Amino acid sequence: MLETDKVFAGSIPENYDRHMVPLIFEPYAADLARRVASLSPGAVLETAAGTGVVTRALAPRLSPGATYIVTDLNQPMLDHAASRQGPDRRITWRQADALALPFEDAAFDVVCCQFGAMFFPDRSTAYREAKRVLKPGGRFLFSVWDRIEENIFADDVTNALARIFPNDPPRFLARTPHGYHDKDLIRSELEAAGFSQVEIETRAAQSRASSPRVPAVAYCQGTLLRNEIQARDPARLEAATDYAASAIADRHGSGEVAAKIQAHVIVAVA
């Protein structure tokens, strides 16, 4: 992962929430919220919360007496998440690094993280921190994307951009969001951090959009792929987005489109 793979700033948070969240994140957020709520936790920590799709799904499911601390490394993402959430005394918003959590030992019943572990520069440290702040027997629930070939629109966009920039293809999607999918590696890193009873479930879903341009804009302008495109040619962002949309239309049609997405959902016991 490159250092630039962590900088969600400028217009990215808004575009991410507007386009990426309904395209690929909402079904997994609902599933993760259901899993967390089934544990009836009194204290929940969410790391790498992004623009708050899990927060919006989980908060209504928690008990009135629960506490819910929502964190992200990127303040612009966290600010956008807070702006989308109604007033709720149970929720505390806090900028925090998952590799150095500013919380006491054994403070939480559940730590959850949707599609954030891929961005951790040192996952072993992040996992040890998650275990440290969990009560004994507490649960760590998180999700990561499967390999890019199992996530069709992301693969379509990556392949399209490789044709536009053949000498230096933008590889952000394959490198980072879809770069941490080896289940044996995930299990071994969690066990090395002290977790037990690691369960990994692979879940497929459908990504749906009203037109081919929606996923093209989502990936090219609502993720850090935008930075890679502009680094190669600042004037070609719209042209690259249009080309990705054409590639999706060629494969999936010009009207409403749908394609497979796939992720791993992990539960581990502290």
pLDDT, one tens digit per residue, over 169-180 is 999 999 999 999
Q: Distance between CA 171 and CA 108 in Å, rounded? A: 36
Cβ–Cβ < 8 Å for 138, 110: yes
Residues 6+ apart with CB under 8 A from 148: 154, 155, 158, 173, 174, 178
pLDDT one-digit tens code per residue, 203-258? 999 999 999 999 999 999 888 899 999 999 989 999 999 999 999 999 999 999 99
73: Cα separation from own chain's centroid: 13
The pLDDT-based confidence of 5 (bands split at 50, 70, 90) is very low
Cβ–Cβ < 8 Å for 93, 82: yes
3-state helix, strand, coil in the chain (%, to 5): 50, 25, 30
pTM for the structure as a whole:
0.92
pLDDT one-digit tens code per residue, 78-105? 998 999 898 999 999 999 999 999 999 9
* Per-residue pLDDT at 3: 46
What are the CA-CA distances from residue 86 to residues 56, 58, 134, 230 (Å)? Answer: 9, 13, 27, 35
Look-up: residue for tokens 């956008």?
80
pLDDT at 7 over 60: no
User: On the CB side of 231, how many CA atoms lie within 13 Å of its CA?
Assistant: 12
What does the block give as tokens for 56? Answer: 């919006």
Look-up: residue for tokens 């796939």?
262
Name the region of 101 (left: φ>0; alpha: ψ -120 to 50; beta: rest). beta
* Per-residue pLDDT at 24: 94
Burial track 131-157 (b if 16+ CB lie within 10 A, e otherwise): bbbbbeebbbbbbbbbebebbbbbbbb
On average, the pLDDT of the chain sits at 93
Q: Distance between CA 45 and CA 68 in Å, rounded? A: 6
Residue 256 sits at φ, ψ, to 5 deg, of -60, 140
Percent of the chain with pLDDT over 90: 86
29: Cα separation from own chain's centroid: 10
- H/E stretch holding 241 reads helix 237-252
Q: Distance between CA 114 and CA 31 in Å, rounded? A: 10
Q: Rounded to 10 degrees, what is the CA torsion of 113, 114, 117, 120?
A: -80
243: Cα separation from own chain's centroid: 25
What is residue 235's DSSP assignment? G
pLDDT at 67 over 50: yes
Nearest-5° angle of CA 101, CA 103, CA 108? 105
In 85-182, alpha helices (H): 123-133, 152-164, 172-175
* Per-residue pLDDT at 9: 47
